Amino acid sequence: MWYKVNELWKKGLNKSQISRECCLDRGTVRRYLSMDEQSFIAWINTPRRMPRKLSLYYKYVRSLLESTPYLSAAQVEDRLKESFPDLPQVDSKTVYNFVRDIRKKYDIPKYKQKQSRQYQKLPEPAFGSEAQVDFGEYNMQTHGGNRVKVYFFVMVLSRSRYKFVYCQPQPFTSQTAIYAHELAFAYFKGIPKSIIYDQDKVFVKSENLGDVLLTDEFRGFCKNYSFESVFCRKADPESKGKVENVVKYVKYNFLQGRKFSNQESLQTDCLAWLKRTGNNKVHGTTRKIPEQQWLIEQKHLLPYSDTPQKPFLQLPCYKVRKDNTIAYRGNFYSLPLGTYKDRDSQLLLEDKGDLLMLYTSDNELVASHKIPVEKGLLVRNTDHVREKSRTLQQKHELLLHALNNTSKATAYLSDLEKDKPRYYHDNISVMLKAIDKATNATIVRTLDFCHENKVLNGYHFVDVLKHYQKEEEDILSCEKTHISEGVKSQQTESLTPSVSSINFYEEII
């Protein structure tokens, strides 16, 4: 920029023109022109000390970091706000830089430095002697734009590097992990003599100071096939580096950028990828093709002649909340009123990628929702706020009966359902409530009018009904008035005063 400013000055541009051309302040242009090249280089290499808004809190932050070095910059910022109400308004990045400089100046590392671990390359194991197992997970996109987490099992033969991968959209259990083992044995056409594992909860109950306690299902599986299970210490991924590399390979060579439709197609694509790429390319370490090495290793594996049996997949249970919702992956999904009974109310949940299905313990569907891409939403079905004491069909039959089961009533309700299929239940509920207090004659007149004039709305139907009810009331009122007037005239005519006989008065006298 200094060279450009001087070049434009030599071309005859004034300071204001140079300022507009270089998008610089006019004072900066003046400063650049006042310095020669050597002065400018010396100036930019001189460290500048800008006034810091947080300089008054230097000692406090230093003592805080020395006493609790594991605090993050965000936590330090919160402590400053807590201890100093008059703290100036600064960006979080400013606090981060301030904390970083103090750590660097006084050598206050955030975490204790670990002693570097010494490694030694081990010789390749014998053919058929060893395999390594691990699990992985990856968030895939669906064709609808949502995301679904895919869980996968990996087994790799340590000598040949021949790999097997099994994918599913649910977390692994002991049963599904055993099923994945059997699929791997069938794929390898044999069983390795020992398999190295992490201390995963689907295999291990407790580390037990080295005497590892296996889950009941996995212990029985190991005895049945007579291979040795070897478990690494916790947080020791280096002990099975071969399979750790394969997990990363599956994530970023096979799963990345691929769309999820269903488990079956994903597993088919995975096996095709293994055949095409995973086991058919030269390995980076051995410099040999795993499939060709497996042809040798296959002869050294223990025999496997069983057929893998897929276990019955039990859907996970989720608690029903008091507000008749289910919380799942950052969103809340509504349920019909009355689903919550007590603290033990639960539903079975099935995630189909774009669709969430909720079942009772008897596999009866309770609700289904589309899974949104966003988080923090209440996914609500308007139908869930209704009282479900009567089904839609029952209400339809009740209304049809109230309309005298005529062909005209059937045709009118059919037209109403076609015109407003989503609100049909609401319309017939409004109509049923109003018809309950109307006379049959009024109902017939209302139906005739609404059917002939295509009045396909429950509220409008009720308005017509009320109009005819008012007419009927007015007629009845008039009739009562006429009747009462007739009765009065008859009573007047019959009220002729009685005339006494003259003889009666004569006798008194």
Among the listed residues 221, 185, 191, the one whose alpha carbon sits nearest the alpha carbon of residue 307: 185
pLDDT at residue 424 is higher than 90 = no
SS3 357: strand
Average pLDDT over every residue of 470-497? 66
pLDDT at residue 403 is higher than 50 = yes
* Amino acid at position 247, single letter: V
Predicted confidence band of residue 504 (pLDDT cuts 50, 70, 90): very low
**Contact in structure between 325 and 378 (CB atoms under 8 Å):** yes
The pLDDT assigned to 199 comes to: 84
The pLDDT assigned to 149 comes to: 87
pLDDT at residue 251 is higher than 80 = yes
Number of C-alpha atoms within 13 angstroms, CB side, residue 225? Answer: 26
The pLDDT assigned to 389 comes to: 45
> In terms of C-beta distances under 8 Å and separation of at least 24 residues, what long-range contacts does 202-208 make, across chains too?
202/172, 202/173, 202/174, 202/177, 203/174, 203/177, 203/229, 203/231, 204/231, 207/234
Token digits of residue 314: 């039990």
Residue found by looking up tokens 């197609």 in the block: 265
The pLDDT assigned to 131 comes to: 95
Q: What number of other Cβ atoms are within 10 A of residue 222's Cβ? A: 16
Domain 131-300 fold is Nucleotidyltransferase; domain 5 (3.30.420)
Average pLDDT over every residue of 235-253? 86
pLDDT at residue 506 is higher than 90 = no
pLDDT tens, position by position, 143-175: 877 788 899 999 999 999 999 999 998 888 888
Cα–Cα distance measured from residue 8 to residue 17, given in angstroms and rounded to the nearest whole number: 9
> Running DSSP on this structure, what letter comes out for residue 254?
I
Average pLDDT over every residue of 409-421? 88
pLDDT at residue 386 is higher than 80 = no
Calculate helix-pair angle for 58-67, 73-83, nearest 10 degrees: 120
Cβ burial 365-379 (10 Å sphere, 16+ → b, else e): ebbebebeeeeeeeb
pLDDT tens, position by position, 256-273: 989 998 899 999 999 999
Q: What number of other Cβ atoms are within 10 A of residue 51's Cβ? A: 5
Token digits of residue 206: 């407790």
The pairing of strands 355-359 and 346-351 is antiparallel
pLDDT at residue 25 is higher than 70 = yes
pLDDT at residue 79 is higher than 80 = yes
456 burial (CB, 10 Å; 0-12 / 13-18 / 19+) is: middle
* Amino acid at position 163, single letter: K
pLDDT tens, position by position, 301-335: 999 998 998 887 667 788 999 999 999 988 999 99
The pairing of strands 194-197 and 131-142 is parallel
Among the listed residues 188, 160, 192, the one whose alpha carbon sits nearest the alpha carbon of residue 282: 160
The pLDDT assigned to 401 comes to: 86
The pLDDT assigned to 73 comes to: 92
Token digits of residue 323: 């507000």
Predicted confidence band of residue 235 (pLDDT cuts 50, 70, 90): low
Predicted confidence band of residue 508 (pLDDT cuts 50, 70, 90): very low
The pLDDT assigned to 486 comes to: 58
Predicted confidence band of residue 493 (pLDDT cuts 50, 70, 90): low
The pLDDT assigned to 509 comes to: 42
Cα–Cα distance measured from residue 227 to residue 230, given in angstroms and rounded to the nearest whole number: 10
pLDDT at residue 488 is higher than 60 = no
Read off φ and ψ for residue 15, nearest 5 degrees. -65, -40
Predicted confidence band of residue 78 (pLDDT cuts 50, 70, 90): very high
**Contact in structure between 440 and 453 (CB atoms under 8 Å):** no
Token digits of residue 404: 């005298």
Would you list the DSSP string of 182-239? HHHHHHHTSB-SEEEE---TTTEEE-GGGSPEEPHHHHHHHHHHTPEEEEPPTT-GGG
**For 130-144, 262-276, 481-495, which range has the lowest pLDDT when averaged over its residues?**
481-495
The pLDDT assigned to 211 comes to: 64
**Contact in structure between 130 and 193 (CB atoms under 8 Å):** yes
CB-based contacts of 357, cutoff 8 Å, min separation 6: 349, 350, 365, 368
pLDDT tens, position by position, 97-132: 899 999 998 999 988 766 666 666 778 899 999 999
Cα–Cα distance measured from residue 335 to residue 349, given in angstroms and rounded to the nearest whole number: 12
The pLDDT assigned to 153 comes to: 96
Report the percentage of the chain scoring pLDDT > 70: 87
Quickly list H helices, 237-340: 241-249, 263-273, 290-297
Cα–Cα distance measured from residue 282 to residue 293, given in angstroms and rounded to the nearest whole number: 11
